């Protein structure tokens, strides 16, 4: 399990950060889908960037988070 994943919500100026837990067996698509629902955004329009600056792309949707 990945604990304390901090999501910076940049959908508005007053949006709060979200802290989530995720199973390492979850796919990137499942993670994107669930987090997008938390911020009321379609997964298609959500963009995710890792701390090292790498962005998650649609080609990675089938990969597991591990």
Residue 39 is predicted with a pLDDT of: 86
Domain ranges of the chain: 2-60
12-41 pLDDT, tens digit per residue, is 778 888 899 999 999 999 999 999 998 888
**Best CA proximity match to 5, nearest among 53, 61, 51:** 51
Distance between CA atoms of residues 55 and 1, nearest Å = 21
Of the pLDDT bands very low, low, confident and very high (cuts 50, 70, 90), residue 9 is confident
Tell me what the pLDDT averaged over the chain comes to.
89
Residue 57 is predicted with a pLDDT of: 92
């Amino acid at each position: 399990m990945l604990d304390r994943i901090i999501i910076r919500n940049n959908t508005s100026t007053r949006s709060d950060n979200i802290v989530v837990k995720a199973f390492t067996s979850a796919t990137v698509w499942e993670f994107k889908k669930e987090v997008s629902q938390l911020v009321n955004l379609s997964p298609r329009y959500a963009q995710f960037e890792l701390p090292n600056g790498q962005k998650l792309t649609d080609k990675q949707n089938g990969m597991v988070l591990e």
